[in-house]
């Protein structure tokens, strides 16, 4: 079961051992925080020796970076796809918020590590992740600007609005659990509507 979850979370990562370590890392970081977790804890929870961990990740920071980069790349891919699938800023923003919210609900444990342990990344690794975050925010902001210019949206400050839209989704990871009465997809749909309202969309 752990094996299939890790394959579902990181289909692009090989071999399976590396994925198992990433999953053990996510669970440990989410539970105790990055700084209080040792590589020994992580290796042990993946049923491996610390030496086996170092074969795949030279350090705890390298493991955090793999988790963080992969999470950001997945989200950026969702955002790009939603933005490219339509010519209308209204549809694009709705699609992005739906996907973004559903990802943060479905992947809430991974998302918490991705969103809350940014400060623990070493400088160079942080720069890579910050670049991915800027790309995500830029795509959304440009759509808000485009929709404002086309008259679909009425927005005082596209930067503030784009940031607020992302906040709606990011914070879902903080409170969402499997016990919530709504599915990630249903929640995404509702937030898509709230997002368009925030932008003063003429149609929704």
Min dist CB 147 to a copy of itself, Å, is: 14
Cα(136)–Cα(53) distance, integer angstroms: 31
185 near a copy of itself, judged by CB under 8 A: no
Residues 19 to 48 in contact with a copy of itself, rule: CB under 8 A:
31-36
State the DSSP string of 36-95.
T--HHHHHHHTT--HHHHHHH-SSHHHHHHHHHHHHHHHHHHHHHHHHHT-S-HHHHHHH
In this structure, what token pair is assigned to residue 170?
């990011």
Cα(184)–Cα(99) distance, integer angstroms: 9
Cα(196)–Cα(182) distance, integer angstroms: 20
Please name the helix (run of DSSP H) or strand (run of DSSP E) that holds residue 117, with its range, or none: none
Min dist CB 204 to a copy of itself, Å, is: 10
130 near a copy of itself, judged by CB under 8 A: no
Cβ-based nearer residue to a copy of itself, 78 or 113: 113
102 near a copy of itself, judged by CB under 8 A: no
Cβ-based nearer residue to a copy of itself, 74 or 115: 115
What is the total count of residues that contact a copy of itself (CB under 8 A)?
A: 32
Residues that bind a copy of itself (CB under 8 A): 31-36, 115-116, 119, 156-157, 160-161, 163-164, 167-168, 170-172, 174-175, 182, 187, 190-191, 193-194, 197-200
């Amino acid at each position: 079961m752990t094996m299939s979850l890790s394959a579902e979370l990181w289909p692009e990562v090989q071999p399976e051992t590396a994925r198992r370590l990433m999953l053990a890392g996510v669970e440990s970081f989410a539970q105790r925080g990055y700084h209080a977790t040792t590589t020994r804890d992580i290796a042990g929870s993946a049923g491996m020796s610390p030496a086996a961990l170092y074969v795949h990740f030279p350090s705890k920071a390298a493991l955090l970076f793999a988790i963080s980069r992969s999470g950001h790349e997945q989200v950026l891919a969702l955002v790009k796809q939603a933005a490219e699938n339509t010519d209308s800023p209204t549809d694009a923003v709705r699609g992005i918020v739906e996907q973004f919210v559903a990802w943060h609900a479905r992947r809430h444990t991974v998302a918490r590590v991705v969103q809350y342990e940014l400060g623990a990344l070493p400088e160079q690794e942080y720069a890579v992740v910050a670049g991915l975050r800027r790309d995500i925010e830029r795509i959304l902001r440009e759509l808000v600007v485009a929709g404002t210019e086309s008259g679909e949206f009425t927005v005082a400050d596209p930067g503030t609005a784009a940031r607020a839209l992302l906040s709606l989704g990011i914070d879902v990871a903080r409170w969402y659990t499997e016990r919530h009465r709504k599915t990630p997809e249903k929640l995404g749909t509702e937030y898509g509507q709230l997002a368009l309202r925030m932008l003063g969309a003429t149609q929704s």
